[in-house]
């Protein structure tokens, strides 16, 4: 039933407030900074339990865009969207538990929600699992999930991998050459890397090690 309603809402219109409510119009309004209009459209679509609209509206309600903030309703919308197995809803709901934002912080609950998002193909779920495990100093798990996110095309993971190898601390896999590999790879994908990071790492390595690190970064490009 929800699939039929979603198609009706997305491919045609829900008439309300004398306007035609649809996702493209809501998204366009958001991009233009017209949050009041975007919120009206998303409110209407959310009444029809359209998960895409519920997630977007929840984010607006959390940030107070287009009207007063309403965290309680935002959480209700995310919960409803997860009931329809919408992967981004699992992800956004997981972030609330991860950060302890408007809910009691719960890393286990966050990991469960991120995993559900990732299992459904939402790559950022893997990235957030990486950040969560890095915070818990489970560096092997963090590295594994960052690499999974990277293979899925989420190239910001290369920055996080570089950071894992760059920092010298107990339990971390400190390796300047590996750090340089990941930062170089990130740059090749258009991700901004602070120049001083590259300079500092190169100062710790021999010319041969630098050349090898850059060769490895090119090899990772074969996964694209």
Mean pLDDT of each 10-residue bin along the chain, 224 residues long: 45 46 90 96 95 97 97 98 97 98 97 98 98 95 96 95 90 92 94 92 96 90 65
pLDDT at 4: 45
Beta carbons of 89 and 71 less than 8 angstroms apart: no
pLDDT at 7: 44
Query: How far, in Å, CA of 54 to CA of 122, rounded?
Result: 17
Query: How far, in Å, CA of 193 to CA of 164, rounded?
Result: 15
pLDDT at 224: 61
pLDDT at 11: 45
Sign of the dihedral defined by the CA atoms of residues 185, 191, 195, 201, in that order: negative
């Amino acid at each position: 039933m929800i699939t039929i309603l979603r198609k009706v809402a997305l491919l045609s219109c829900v008439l309300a407030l004398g306007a035609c409510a649809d996702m493209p119009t809501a998204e366009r309004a958001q991009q233009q900074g017209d949050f009041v209009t975007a919120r009206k459209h998303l409110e209407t679509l959310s009444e029809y339990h359209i998960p895409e609209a519920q997630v977007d509206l929840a984010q607006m309600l959390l940030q107070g865009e287009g009207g007063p903030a309403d965290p309680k309703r935002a959480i209700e919308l995310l919960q409803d969207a997860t009931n329809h197995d919408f992967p981004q809803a699992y992800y956004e709901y997981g972030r609330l538990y991860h950060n302890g934002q408007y809910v009691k912080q719960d890393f286990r609950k966050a990991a469960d929600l991120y995993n559900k998002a990732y299992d459904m193909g939402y790559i950022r779920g893997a990235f957030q699992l990486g950040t969560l495990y890095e915070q818990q100093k489970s560096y092997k798990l963090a590295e594994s999930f960052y690499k999974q996110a990277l293979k899925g095309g989420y190239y910001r993971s290369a920055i996080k991998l570089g950071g894992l190898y760059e920092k010298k601390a107990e339990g971390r896999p400190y390796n300047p050459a590996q750090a340089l590999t990941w930062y170089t790879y990130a740059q090749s994908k258009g991700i901004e890397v602070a120049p001083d990071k590259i300079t500092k790492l190169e100062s710790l390595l021999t010319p041969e090690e630098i050349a090898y690190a850059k060769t490895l970064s090119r090899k990772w490009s074969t996964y694209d």
